[in-house]
Amino acid sequence: MKLKVLITAFLFVGITAFSQSYKPLLDNLNEWHFTGCYFGCSTDVYYTDGDTIVDGNNYKILDGYHYISRTFLLREDVPSKKVYLKILSPGFNEEFLLYDFSLSQGATFNMQNPISPFPQDGGPFLLDSIVERPLVDGNAYKHFYFSPAPGNTTSTENAVWIEGVGSLSIINAPGGHPDINDVGHLSCFFKNTEAFYANLDSIDDCIPLVLGIKKHNLEEVIASKQTNSNICKLSNTQEVKSVTVFDLSGKKLEMKTNNGNNSITIDFSNYQNGLYIIMVTGFGDTKKSFKIVK
């Protein structure tokens, strides 16, 4: 009897020790490669680039591909394993729940695919199965397999999520069907330039194209502002092309161009007290953001 109890306890401890904890999606700098072969194969790249605060919430800014407006913002609530999207454009005042990685098999989830090739309200999907499969780092991560729920007349094809990655379709289409011969399919995903997911069916290799590039013309730019002053000074701005000031709603308040000057000043005297975002754009459209409190 004692032997049986000891073996059971050992197995429990062993399983606990080797099980994978939740892998957050937005805990790193991320880069997605999205490949489509509808009229010949081509790969688009998008990535997280900078942080911002809107309505008291911290967001990662999406850039690249059709996110170059930098109005697509992602945030993750790690304890609840949920990922949200906010779009800073007219007509999009709500925050969309894109992913819920706490779901259990058999659960129903209403897919939202805002500003994507798929229906914005994709309707209810049934989580058919959760399977742990190894990714590039050799560890197993949960793969979520969905199908349209009975009665869903909006969506007709299946969807796949991967913990720590997102959809196998584009990131803002959790209900999108990944089809490399139609809208497209995720081919590579990187965290801090390290490959995390790879599908080499239609491409030769996975090499980071954005995160691995040194942002040479903006790395030395510094923003400084004294507590009792309304003047913000940007230094080392020789390679800065323009500077834009935004409020937390994403509204553009001011823009300055630069012609090789070593410093740029921004006067916040006419602005109300609060938090503002300064977006610096360099040559080659590289960007760097600063948070300034007035």
Judge if 52 and 97 occupy the same domain: yes
Q: Does a structural domain hold residue 19?
A: no
Judge if 185 and 228 occupy the same domain: no
Q: What is the pLDDT of residues 246-255, one digit of tens each?
A: 887 778 899 9
Name the burial class of residue 269, with classes exposed (0-12), middle (13-18) and buried (19+) by CB atoms within 10 angstroms of its CB. Answer: exposed
CATH code at position 264: 2.60.40.1220
Beta bridge partners of 228: none
Judge if 236 and 134 occupy the same domain: no
Judge if 74 and 138 occupy the same domain: yes
Judge if 58 and 163 occupy the same domain: yes
Q: Does a structural domain hold residue 286?
A: yes
Q: Does a structural domain hold residue 64?
A: yes
- Count up the domains in the chain and report the number: 2
Judge if 89 and 132 occupy the same domain: yes
Judge if 153 and 262 occupy the same domain: no
- pLDDT band at residue 41 using 50, 70 and 90 as cut-offs: confident
How many residues are given for the chain? Answer: 294
- pLDDT band at residue 275 using 50, 70 and 90 as cut-offs: confident
Q: Does a structural domain hold residue 257?
A: yes
Judge if 135 and 278 occupy the same domain: no
Cα–Cα distance for residue pair 216/168, rounded to 1 Å = 32
Would you say 118 and 59 are in contact if contact means Cβ atoms under 8 Å apart? Answer: no
- pLDDT band at residue 138 using 50, 70 and 90 as cut-offs: confident
Last residue of a domain, one of 136, 164, 198: 198
Q: What is the pLDDT of residues 60-71, one digit of tens each?
A: 999 999 898 899
Q: Does a structural domain hold residue 268?
A: yes
Judge if 271 and 193 occupy the same domain: no
The range of the structural domain enclosing residue 237 comes to: 222-293
Residues 6+ positions from 266 with CB-CB distance below 8 Å: 231, 232, 234, 243, 245, 254, 256, 278
- Whether residue 25 has pLDDT greater than 90: yes
Q: What is the pLDDT of residues 203-241, one digit of tens each?
A: 777 888 876 554 456 878 888 887 788 999 998 898 888
Judge if 174 and 246 occupy the same domain: no
Would you say 125 and 147 are in contact if contact means Cβ atoms under 8 Å apart? Answer: yes
Q: Does a structural domain hold residue 210?
A: no
At residue 277, the pLDDT reads 87
Q: Does a structural domain hold residue 283?
A: yes
Q: Which range, 11-15, 48-52, 71-75, 287-291, is most confident?
A: 71-75
Q: Does a structural domain hold residue 186?
A: yes
| pLDDT > 70 fraction of the chain, expressed in percent and rounded | 90
Last residue of a domain, one of 198, 213, 242: 198
Last residue of a domain, one of 132, 165, 198: 198
Judge if 276 and 169 occupy the same domain: no
Judge if 192 and 262 occupy the same domain: no
Residue 99, CA atoms < 13 Å, CB-side half-sphere: 32
